Structure 1
């Protein structure tokens, strides 16, 4: 089972702005003193430059445009509502913010099928929204696909029962913990696991300082070491520059890249960069507007496609 893929799905924003509904528990979001139209324009430019960088190294990027007539401030982060798996299954996830639920689009299935991918089953968890229970895709779940483990920091956007249900359906072992950040002097749950950790083929980047419970921290370290992962730790400060929000992808000739934002890349020290570059090449893009207003970064913008191809 591959940990990385060459194909990613990305959604080009159309009405990007700071989403007031997600800001209640996403402490990474900040207001920019700009008109929404300018924020959206800047986000589109960042998006286009990012796609170009990925395409230039041979990553197959399927770009879907956000529709003009629906208010979807966070459409640029598709990894929260959908995931695509090697067995032909696709999962749809329950979203915390009501105005993010309209991001789920059936036409994306048609687009992927037109690209030659085979979707056999859609496993839909969205009914949990009626019970105010949420699990926001690969924002909440850090999947070690090779070793069949799902790392998850519980939060208002990551429900334990839903995580266990997902793990039963997709045959993963849940690795459950809590991760906190300091907000105005208080320790508050981090909204998504994927801002504090990333799992690549041979290593993991993780902010261990966010796991306050010593037993949980030990358990996470043990699981990563058991699978032979080199653990590259980042500080809470680096996490706030989105240094945990990374994704390993494959480019031309199966070359591996660790994709991150410029702010994440700039925050890393020489030792951390060397540790990563031992395994793969770093590819970074300037995502300042998207990060500031959206509170998400490079990893959140990419929905990995592991689906099998239709035999031609």
Structure 2
């Protein structure tokens, strides 16, 4: 199943610009506003409420002030949840992001869902091999394909380790921004939905790798919707398709991403699913991530009520 109606979100308590991640995240900008944490919390609440109002089940877990985790709002980088009951913990590039793996988050998940097994890849951090969850990989869950643009946060050896333990096939490539710098996470340039893929294909400069990605998508019979560098820079690649409690497909993105799309692109996307967007400007500016980064999809079996 490609999409779920269950999401995990971590409500921030001390969100701020993270200098450790800014070294290779060109989307981050240090906002001089003194109210960043408060503004980010308001954006988070409005976003979560909008998802819930549209019939999406959101498990909201409050972050803790200590240990200090400025990027806790992006849980999809350190954990993923799978239909077979597996959870996977991932090796993180920034040392201060590794502290996001807090036990109270898993306890909240276990109250609602059944965890069968834990696959822990975090030991790879000791070898400086990183794979930041569904930021580093965009998963086609139906076809068990992991698309991944290689970067300081996404290492081929860690990707192969993931594939070996899960049975996913990997489609690895290089993607650069308009300044020629590696794109830090695949999920800012690519979104895989049930019937379509949104991708900034011009960021893949090697023609053989571009063909590799295009051929892999075509084999799954999904349509390709191209976005430009400009649209990617406004987080138009950072979308996530979910479904609500009525089985309706929804495409989630930020308002900035939505406003970067053309009328034709919006029309095409709305043929597949309804679009939900929310303003995330503070989070996007300081965190360098957007709507998709804030959502960890939960595919685990639901606990049976007695």
One fold, TM greater than 0.5?
A: yes
SS of structure 2 residue aligned to 1:3 = coil
User: Which one of the candidate residues 145, 165, 172 is aligned to 1:169?
Assistant: 165
Task: Confirm whether residue 136 of structure 1 aligns to residue 132 of structure 2.
Answer: yes
CA distance in 1, matches of 2:42, 2:127: 38
Task: Confirm whether residue 114 of structure 1 aligns to residue 111 of structure 2.
Answer: yes
CA distance in 1, matches of 2:123, 2:66: 25
Match of 1:41 in 2: 38
CA distance in 2, matches of 1:121, 1:237: 41
- CA shift digits 1:137-166 (9 cap, x unpaired): 000010000011000000000010110110
CA distance in 2, matches of 1:73, 1:15: 6
SS of structure 1 residue aligned to 2:194 = coil
Report matched runs for 1:55-70 at 5 Å: 55-70=52-67
SS of structure 2 residue aligned to 1:283 = strand
Match of 1:213 in 2: 206
CA distance in 2, matches of 1:251, 1:19: 33
Match of 2:220 in 1: 227
- CA shift digits 1:26-72 (9 cap, x unpaired): 0000111212xx10000000000000100001000000001022211
Match of 2:141 in 1: 145
Query: How big is the alpha-carbon RMSD for the aligned residues of Structure 1 and Structure 2?
Result: 0.8
Match of 2:252 in 1: 259
Report matched runs for 1:257-296 at 5 Å: 257-296=250-289
CA distance in 1, matches of 2:217, 2:208: 15
Match of 2:12 in 1: 13
Shift of the alpha carbon at 1:251? 1.0
**Unaligned residue ranges in structure 1 (runs of 5+):** none
Shift of the alpha carbon at 1:224? 0.6
Shift of the alpha carbon at 1:225? 1.0
CA distance in 1, matches of 2:67, 2:12: 11
Match of 1:300 in 2: 293
Match of 2:76 in 1: 79
Count, aligned residues:
305
CA distance in 2, matches of 1:52, 1:112: 19
Q: Is 2:111–2:303's contact at 8 Å kept on the other side of the alignment?
A: no
CA distance in 1, matches of 2:65, 2:136: 28
TM-score of the aligned structures, taking structure 1 as reference length: 0.96
Shift of the alpha carbon at 1:182? 2.6
Q: Is 2:57–2:245's contact at 8 Å kept on the other side of the alignment?
A: no
Task: Confirm whether residue 189 of structure 1 aligns to residue 188 of structure 2.
Answer: no
TM-score of the aligned structures, taking structure 2 as reference length: 0.98
Shift of the alpha carbon at 1:223? 0.8
